Copies of this chain bind each other. A is one copy, B any other.
Amino acid sequence: MSTQTVQEAMITLGVNARRAAREIMRASGVAKVRALHAMADAVEANRGALKDANRQDLDAARENGLTAALLDRLALSDRTLDLMADGLRQVAALPDPVGSTGPTTVRPNGMRVAQMRVPLGVIGIIYESRPNVTIDAAALCLKSGNAAILRGGSEALRSNLALAAIVRQGLDAAGLPPHAVQVVDTTDRAAVGELITMTEHIDVIVPRGGKSLIQRISAEARVPVIKHLDGNCHVYIDAAADPEKAHAIAFNAKTYRYGVCGSMETLLVHAAVAAAILPRLADALIAHGVELRGCARTRDLVPAAKPATDADWAEEYLGPILAIRIVDSLDEAIDHIGRWGSGHTDAIVTENLGAARRFQREVDSSSVYVNLPTVFADGYEYGLGSEIGISTNRLHARGPVGLEGLTTYKWVLTGEGQLRG
């Protein structure tokens, strides 16, 4: 397609999405639930067609020499399809955020003031190879009353279009507008450039993928972006930590899964308890295959640790490496996190109430834990039911973003003819 044609095609998607958004924001909760259930049924009823489309993507990907890891992410297995249908039914069962109204205040003149939750409008989702995101994102956007424009990876186009047909079936079954969820059907890269700059048609962009994708989108977008950048997470073992808890929390924070954004990347240990805790913890981590990099005082206690540099304090390893630093006070720990952290998720291990409260108040991260490993950073664990991602933004939605993060509010005022002035 020519750039001109891509632009026109994207504007058409945008105009259709905006029109559908006006309808879908008024849709009843019942209709949205019906649509989600119909989608789940359609996933199960169309396994064959979905796997056929996916097989074409997989064949082309193999010809193009994609790695085994990417092929694995691209594949729609029976198990993936089962999870997809389950996911749709789970989202259907979540409380509908739209239209709920918070506390009402009565002003001195008798008028009543409240805030009502309403959808954001049109959400653009840009993602990479996993086709299941098509269904996940469609479900969350629909449940929260938003229209969605989905732009998946080019290698998954046939799978995504087949899934889009499933979504369309669900919308039809519930009498909802077909353009409430649209999949971009071109692999032209110019389509992304249009999507992230169509401020008239798109209210927010949610990119899901690697850091380079998100940085590129953030740099070029004119539409607001709910984004996830670094997760350089810390666990601080305080002087008043329970040694057993500290050991278990730090071990879990590093080893639960190396690749998740809540994985601990730097361990801070108060000097008063370092000798009691670090050697045993280091042995356990090393035995688990974790490479340790420490400050000079750490290396006195853990000779196996390599020397850590400033680059280590800044790094999100997302792998079996851990930086360790001994600090002399809670303040030093908070300062280290303020200087080197990425504001994602940080934890203190302590039995001291004052230390816990100060850490929770003063560490400026989107999630701050007491006596919990940082790997709990996940919308399901927080009770959000589902999440579209974890935001490292400061404005709007911060940390795990569930349905509420895909809504905004409006002020609703009710009077009996009060006048001003």
A 351-368 binary contact with B (CB < 8 Å = 1; else 0): 000001000111011111
Q: Which residue of chain B is the closest to A244 with respect to CB atoms?
A: B417
Contacts of A365 in B (CB 8 A): 410
A 398-413 binary contact with B (CB < 8 Å = 1; else 0): 1110000000111111
Q: Which residue of chain B is the closest to A246 with respect to CB atoms?
A: B417
Nearest CB of B to A232, in Å: 16
Contacts of A381 in B (CB 8 A): 107, 420
A 241-252 binary contact with B (CB < 8 Å = 1; else 0): 010110011001
Chain B CB within 8 A of A63 CB? no
Nearest CB of B to A380, in Å: 10
A 372-395 binary contact with B (CB < 8 Å = 1; else 0): 110110000111000000000011
**Inter-chain contact B107/A370, CB cutoff 8 Å:** no
> CA A250 – CA B421 in complex, angstroms?
14
Q: Which residue of chain B is the closest to A19 with respect to CB atoms?
A: B338
**Inter-chain contact B376/A395, CB cutoff 8 Å:** no
Instruction: Tell me how many chains of this kind the complex includes.
Output: 2
Asked if A413 meets B372 with Cβ closer than 8 Å, knowing A396-B395, A398-B408, A419-B252, the reply is: yes
Count A-side interface residues using an 8 Å CB cutoff: 63
> CA A249 – CA B415 in complex, angstroms?
11
Chain B CB within 8 A of A86 CB? no
Asked if A376 meets B99 with Cβ closer than 8 Å, knowing A224-B395, A394-B120, the reply is: no
Q: Could you say which of A36-44, A111-119, A293-301, A305-313 contacts chain B?
A: A111-119
Q: Which residue of chain B is the closest to A371 with respect to CB atoms?
A: B415
Chain B CB within 8 A of A256 CB? yes
> CA A248 – CA B420 in complex, angstroms?
10
Asked if A368 meets B113 with Cβ closer than 8 Å, knowing A203-B395, A375-B421, the reply is: no
> CA A398 – CA B26 in complex, angstroms?
19
Nearest CB of B to A57, in Å: 31
Asked if A411 meets B367 with Cβ closer than 8 Å, knowing A22-B338, A249-B419, the reply is: yes
Nearest CB of B to A248, in Å: 6
Chain B CB within 8 A of A138 CB? no
Contacts of A257 in B (CB 8 A): 421
**Inter-chain contact A383/B113, CB cutoff 8 Å:** yes
Q: Which of B26, B204, B242 contacts A361 (CB 8 A)?
A: B26
> CA A80 – CA B375 in complex, angstroms?
54
Chain B CB within 8 A of A105 CB? yes
> CA A383 – CA B371 in complex, angstroms?
39
**Inter-chain contact B415/A367, CB cutoff 8 Å:** no
Contacts of A25 in B (CB 8 A): 362, 364
Asked if A411 meets B368 with Cβ closer than 8 Å, knowing A224-B224, A421-B256, the reply is: yes
The 9 A-B pairs at the shortest CB distance, nearest first, are namely A245-B417, A372-B415, A367-B411, A252-B419, A395-B396, A396-B396, A370-B414, A369-B413, A399-B411
Q: List 18 A-B contacts (CB under 8 A).
A: A25-B362, A25-B364, A99-B361, A105-B383, A121-B394, A203-B395, A245-B416, A248-B419, A367-B410, A367-B412, A368-B412, A369-B415, A370-B414, A371-B415, A371-B416, A372-B414, A398-B408, A400-B411
